[in-house]
């Protein structure tokens, strides 16, 4: 390990962890000399960012196009009531600056897309995936495999969570754990299934610890395995994950654009956005036909922080209960936060004979557009 020389202020601030047997000034120096890219400043990003800034990671980049909503605050404790309506990256930067003014924080208020992934990830020493959709997770994984960057990955659903370190130089990646990309809308997100804030803290803290281990060389990172946590019985189980024999390595993103449908936003093309069993035609913000009637299917608390100008707000449950609310509109496109719920709603409505489409990337992709 190597890194920057510790100042007297560094030695005083990080004294408790420097004193740890096996950690010492060399590990602290390595942290201060590191650049971490964190994808998502939400439920998992909040504890990850807080602990890494407190631990003294010298440069932290945050990518997230979203804005702070009141419903975020029960778990995304890096934000506050005064930050509602602000960009999450700026709210997080402000809080981290209060916690540790000696580190550098770079913000990227955009979605991770095939257009920017290699550039953003290439500048970092390690990537932490705190996103909440499969499209972004596979995109981050593939870009890290191409660039040979370690990826700390975590996910939560219901009362359970998972943590892993994917590093193609040492073996397994996300595509070895989950070879088949789930169809859009097939797995509920937190807005649909719900989530407890304390579970985000448990998984996020574990992700931060794995990151520190990789950057400093202490301990044994969770490579070639996934750790599964059940919060209801406080159990942790570690399951081995091996490289799939003869799996072709990821060498470019263009060959896998169909897996990144929800991240394409304005940059992708409609044919690459993917469908769900042929029933969910997706469009991007750039490919919306003139005169398309936009319908925001998010919940009331979500739209309170903002919505696309001119869009009609019909919560998903209300729309599915009464599709007749769309009568009179020839072209209709649904959008939610990230494209997951709109994809599911689109498939159900089309199965019932209502012609609608789903906007890939949802409101997050809209926020990524130049305004």
Structural domains of the chain sorted by starting position, each given as residue range(s) with its CATH number in brackets: 34-240 (3.40.50.720), 264-368 (3.40.250.10)
Residues 6+ apart with CB under 8 A from 359: 282, 283, 284, 285, 288, 294, 333, 334, 335, 339, 342, 365, 366
Residue of 144, 200, 336, 346 with catalytic role: 336
Tokens 């659903």 appear where? 157
Q: Using CA atoms of 352, 356, 360, 366 in order, give the dihedral in degrees to the nearest 10.
A: -140
DSSP 64-126: ---B--GGGTTT-TTS-GGGTTSBHHHHHHHHHHHH-TTSEEEEE-S---TTTHHHHHHT-SE
Q: What pLDDT, on the 0 to 100 scale, is given for residue 279?
A: 44
Residue 36 β-bridge partners: 60, 126
Q: What pLDDT, on the 0 to 100 scale, is given for residue 277?
A: 39
Our answer to whether residue 190 is catalytic in this structure is: yes
Q: What pLDDT, on the 0 to 100 scale, is given for residue 340?
A: 84
In the predicted model, residues of the chain with pLDDT beneath 70 are: 1-3, 184-192, 262-280
Residue of 190, 200, 223, 346 with catalytic role: 190
- Residue 115 corresponds to which tokens in the numbers above? 């257009």
Q: What pLDDT, on the 0 to 100 scale, is given for residue 354?
A: 93
Degrees to nearest 5, angle at CA 11 with 7 and 17:
140
Q: What pLDDT, on the 0 to 100 scale, is given for residue 252?
A: 96
Q: What pLDDT, on the 0 to 100 scale, is given for residue 361?
A: 87
Q: What pLDDT, on the 0 to 100 scale, is given for residue 182?
A: 82
Q: What pLDDT, on the 0 to 100 scale, is given for residue 186?
A: 65
Q: What pLDDT, on the 0 to 100 scale, is given for residue 191?
A: 66
Q: What pLDDT, on the 0 to 100 scale, is given for residue 281?
A: 75
DSSP 71-82: GGTTT-TTS-GG
The answer to whether 167 and 224 have CB atoms below 8 angstroms apart is no
Our answer to whether residue 336 is catalytic in this structure is: yes
Q: Which strand ranges, in their side-by-side order, compose the sheet holding 312-313?
A: 282-283, 357-359, 332-335, 293-296, 312-313
Residues 6+ apart with CB under 8 A from 273: 258, 261, 264, 282, 283, 284, 360
Q: What pLDDT, on the 0 to 100 scale, is given for residue 267?
A: 41
Cα–Cα nearest to 109, from 62, 168, 72, 59: 62
The DSSP output letter for 158 is B
DSSP 307-371: --TT-EE--HHHHHH-GGGGTT-SSEEEE-SSSHHHHHHHHHHHHTT---EEETTHHHHHHHS--
Q: Report the DSSP pairing between strands 126-129 and 282-283.
A: unpaired
d(CA 76, CA 36) in angstroms, rounded, equals 19
Cα–Cα nearest to 40, from 146, 118, 152, 143: 152
**Single pTM value for the model:** 0.86
């Amino acid at each position: 390990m190597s890194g920057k020389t510790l100042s007297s202020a560094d030695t005083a601030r990080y004294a408790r962890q420097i004193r740890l047997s096996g950690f010492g000034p060399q590990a602290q120096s390595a942290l201060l000399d590191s650049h971490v890219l964190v994808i998502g400043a939400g439920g998992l990003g909040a504890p990850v960012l807080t602990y890494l800034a407190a631990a003294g990671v010298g440069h932290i980049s945050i990518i997230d196009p979203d804005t702070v909503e009141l419903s975020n605050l029960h778990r995304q404790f890096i934000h506050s009531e005064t930050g509602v309506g602000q960009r999450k990256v700026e709210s997080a930067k402000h809080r981290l600056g209060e916690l540790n003014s000696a580190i550098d924080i770079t913000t990227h208020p955009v979605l991770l897309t095939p257009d920017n992934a290699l550039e953003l990830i290439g500048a970092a020493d390690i990537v932490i995936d705190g996103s909440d959709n499969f499209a972004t997770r596979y995109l981050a994984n593939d870009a890290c495999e191409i660039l040979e960057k370690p990826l700390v990955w975590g996910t939560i659903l219901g009362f359970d969570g998972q943590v892993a370190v994917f590093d193609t130089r040492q073996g397994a990646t996300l595509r070895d754990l989950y070879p088949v990309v789930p169809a859009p809308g097939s797995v509920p997100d937190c807005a649909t299934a719900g989530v407890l804030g304390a579970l985000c803290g448990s998984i996020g803290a574990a992700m931060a610890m794995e990151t520190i281990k990789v950057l400093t060389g202490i301990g044994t990172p969770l490579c070639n395995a996934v750790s599964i946590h059940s919060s209801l019985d406080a159990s942790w189980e570690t399951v081995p994950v091996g490289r799939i024999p003869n799996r072709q390595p990821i060498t470019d993103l263009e060959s896998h654009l169909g897996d990144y449908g929800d991240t394409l936003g304005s940059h992708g093309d409609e044919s690459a956005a993917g469908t769900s069993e042929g029933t969910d035609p997706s469009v991007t913000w750039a490919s919306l036909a003139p005169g398309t009637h936009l319908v925001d299917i998010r919940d009331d608390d979500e739209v309170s922080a903002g919505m696309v100008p001119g869009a009609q707000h019909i919560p998903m449950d209300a729309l599915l209960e009464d599709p007749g609310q769309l009568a009179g509109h020839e072209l209709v496109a649904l959008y939610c936060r990230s494209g997951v719920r709109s994809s599911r709603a689109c498939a159900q409505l089309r199965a019932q004979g209502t012609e609608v489409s789903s906007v890939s990337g949802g409101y997050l992709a809209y926020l990524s557009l130049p305004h």
